[in-house]
A = this chain, B = another copy of it.
Amino acid sequence: MSEQYPRPSVTVDLVVFTVFDSDLKVLLIERGEEPFAGSWALPGGFVRVENTPDSRGEGLDAAAYRELQEETGLTPSQVHLEQLCAFGRPFRDPRFRVSTIAYPALVQPHLALTAGTDAADARWFSVRQEVPEMSLAFDHAQILAAALSRVQEQIEARPIAFRLVGPTFSKSELRAVYETLRGVPYDPSNFARRFTRWEREGMIEKAPGKRITGARRAQVYRFRTA
């Protein structure tokens, strides 16, 4: 019967992005065990499976949120996870057959600073400066690349940028996020027009206070939760 077929292990891997120091960062964990001991890898782990009559273990999303919390301390209310896709090359893990489900995530910079220091073996790496020089464990370089593409597409199509800025932000701060994530410059004027439209549409509203960045004070805004 089908129950008797050999089964693959299934893991979830998190591609946790943030932006600080005007730079796109991804959270990596130094592996302590073989395989790839000493290499850096995406945070993640095995999906808990049971096959008892009353429990089957956790769903995929639940596993992703659990791993996120275990490895970064970030809670589901702080970070939104959305599945990217599955990776299942037979030899992607040298030990045995492991398929993994990738979950890109965006965390706000003020949460990121604590997240990266929670675990001693976790660190933020510059996606463009550092990661290309590294040799990530497993096929994690490929997963990271796929996750980045997905997020780059989505930020133009859906209001997800607010997950990469603090509670309030100026026009230029939000623009900087777009520029950092996409890796291309945005015309300040044209970005301001989009920004104004978002405000007109009720996605963004003025927040009290001004941002003092050096010269002229910038108006501060926040996203509307409603």
Contacts and interface: CB of A to CB of B under 8 A. Distances in A.
Nearest to A52: B6
Contacts of A59: 88-90
A190 interface: no
Interface string A75-91: 00000000111111111
A7 B5 contact: no
A130 interface: no
Given A58-B90, A60-B86, A85-B84, A51 B6 contact: yes
A6 B83 CA distance: 23
Interface size range of chain A in the complex: 20 to 34
A60 B101 CA distance: 12
A220 interface: no
Interface stretch (A15-23, A92-100, A195-203): A92-100
B9 A3 contact: yes
B90 A57 contact: yes
A36 interface: no
A92 B26 CA distance: 33
Interface of A: 2-3, 5-10, 46-51, 55-60, 83-91, 95-97, 99, 101
